[in-house]
Amino acid sequence: MKIDRKEVLKALETITIAGEGKNMVESGAVTNVITFGDEVVVDLLLHTPAMHIKKRAEDDIKKTIHNLISAEAKIKVNIKVEAPENPNQIKGKAIPGIKNIIAVASGKGGVGKSTVTANLAVTLAKMGFSVGVLDADIYGPSMPIMFDVETEKPISVTVNGKSKMKPVESYEVKMLSIGFFTAPSQAVIWRGPMASKALNQMIFDADWGELDFMLIDLPPGTGDIHLSIMQSLPVTGAVVVSTPQAVALADAKKGVAMFMSDAINVPVLGIIENMAYFTPEELPENKYYIFGKEGAKNLAEDLQVPFLGEVPLVQSIREAGDFGRPAAMQTGSVIESVFENITRNVVQETVSRNENLPATEAIKITTMAGCSAVKK
C-alpha cells in the first residue's frame, strides 16, 4: 500500500499538542512529512522539553495514522526540542564536575524512599560510577545511619583558595547530610528559609569532585525543600518511590504531577514500587501481596512514565539499613539482583533523557508566589 503525504498531513491536523491551542500542523510543530510506500516519517518540533509531552505527541501521531490511514503503516517520529528562553526566569547554577543529578522523591513518608536511595547509590558505585548522595531530608535525615557513618563529621578542605566541606565517604559513595551537624537526639526545628540555606551550603560549599551521579534524597511530599532544591540545581530527572496501596499511590501521583508541572518541568525517569510483595524464606515460590498488587506499575502506565521495577518486602533490607550496610551489597542475593535491574533501568532512562531532551536548568520562579500558580 502506498500512503499519500497529503492524507497524513490531514490526519495530523486532528492532533493538538498539550499546552498549545492549535493543531500540530497549523502551529508549525510538524516540520516535514515523508512517505515511501507504507513507511511514514514525521519530523516534529516541540517547544516544551517535558518528556511526557514528547511521548504523548509520538503516541498520538502513531495512533492517528494507524486509525485514519492504515493499520499497517510503519511510522517513525523524529522529535526535536527547542525551548524558548524566558528572560524573567530565575536560574540556579550547575555544580562543576557533576554530570547527572537524580532526585529521589515520594508523595508519602514511610514508603522506603531513603532505603531505595541508599541501595541505588551503592549499586551505581558497584557498576563503576562515581556517586554522591545529598540527604535533603532536613527534618528526618537517614543516610548517616544507613551508611554507618553516624559519628563521622565532614572536614574542611581548601579548594582554589576557598574553604569547603569534604563529603563523608562510605562504600565508595560521597555524602552530606544535616545529620552530620546535629546530635542524634536533636530535633531540627527550622523554618523553610533556614533549611534552604543549610541545603545550599551542602550543595555549593562542598568539594564534591567529579561525579557521574548525584542522588538527592528528598523529604516526602511536595513543599518548600523540593522547591529550593529544584531552584538551586539543574536536576536531570526524578525517580518517584511508592508502595502499592491506594493511599500511597494517591500521594505518589501528586509527586509525579509536581515534577511534570509547567513551573518545575523536571523529566520523571520512572516509578519504583517498594514493598511490592512478601515471600517467606521457607516458601520461596510464594508471593503475598500485602499492600496490593502492581499498584505503582499501573500508576506508571496511567501517567505514561516508565516503571523502573519492584522491590520485595524482605527482612534483610530493613536489617541491612539499620546496621549501616545497604542490602544491595549482599553478593549473590536476590536483593542484589533486584537493585541491579532497577539501577540499570534508571541509568538507561537517564541516558535516553540526555539523548532526547535538552540539558535541564534549575527551575524557573517567575512569580512571587513560587511555583504553585493559583487559577481564578
pLDDT, tens digit, 9 for 90 and up, residues 210-252? 889 989 888 876 666 766 676 677 788 888 888 888 888 888 8
Q: Kindly report, as residue ranges, where domains of CATH 3.40.50.300 are found in the chain.
A: 98-356
The architecture that CATH gives domain 98-356 is 3-Layer(aba) Sandwich (3.40)
The architecture that CATH gives domain 5-81 is 2-Layer Sandwich (3.30)
Section 33-52 average pLDDT? 79
Q: How far apart are CA 213 and CA 337, in angstroms?
A: 20
Q: How far apart are CA 56 and CA 33, in angstroms?
A: 18
* Per-residue model confidence (pLDDT) at position 155: 83
Q: For 109-136, what is each residue's pLDDT tens digit?
A: 778 888 899 999 999 998 888 999 988 8
Q: Kindly report, as residue ranges, where domains of CATH 3.30.300.130 are found in the chain.
A: 5-81
* Per-residue model confidence (pLDDT) at position 50: 63
Section 338-351 average pLDDT? 89
> Which amino acid is residue 267, in one-letter code?
P
pLDDT at 284 over 80: no
Section 149-174 average pLDDT? 85
Q: At CA 21, angle to CA 16 and CA 27, rounded to 5?
A: 70
Q: How far apart are CA 348 and CA 343, in angstroms?
A: 8
pLDDT > 90: percent of the chain: 3
Q: How far apart are CA 351 and CA 212, in angstroms?
A: 12
* Per-residue model confidence (pLDDT) at position 51: 67
Q: For 59-104, what is each residue's pLDDT tens digit?
A: 888 888 888 888 888 888 888 877 655 444 444 556 778 888 888 8
Q: How far apart are CA 353 and CA 129, in angstroms?
A: 18
**Three-state helix/strand/coil letters over the chain:** CCCCHHHHHHHHCCCECCCCCCECCCCCCEEEEEEECCEEEEEEEECCCCHHHHHHHHHHHHHHHHHHCCCCCEEEEEEEECCCCCCCCCCCCCCCCEEEEEEEECCCCCCCHHHHHHHHHHHHHHCCCCEEEEECCCCCCCHHHHCCCCCCCCEEEEECCEEEEECEEECCEEEEEHHHCCCCCCCCCCCHHHHHHHHHHHHHCECCCCEEEEEEECCCCCCHHHHHHHHHCCCCEEEEEECCCHHHHHHHHHHHHHHHCCCCCCCEEEEEEEEEEECCCCCCCCCECCCCCCHHHHHHHHHCCCEEEEEEECHHHHHHHHCCCCHHHCCCCHHHHHHHHHHHHHHHHHHHHHHHCCCCCCCCCCCCCCCCCCCC
Please provide the average confidence, as pLDDT, over all residues in the chain.
Answer: 80
* Per-residue model confidence (pLDDT) at position 19: 58
Section 176-188 average pLDDT? 75
Nearest in space to 54 (alpha carbons), one of 253, 237, 267, 255: 267
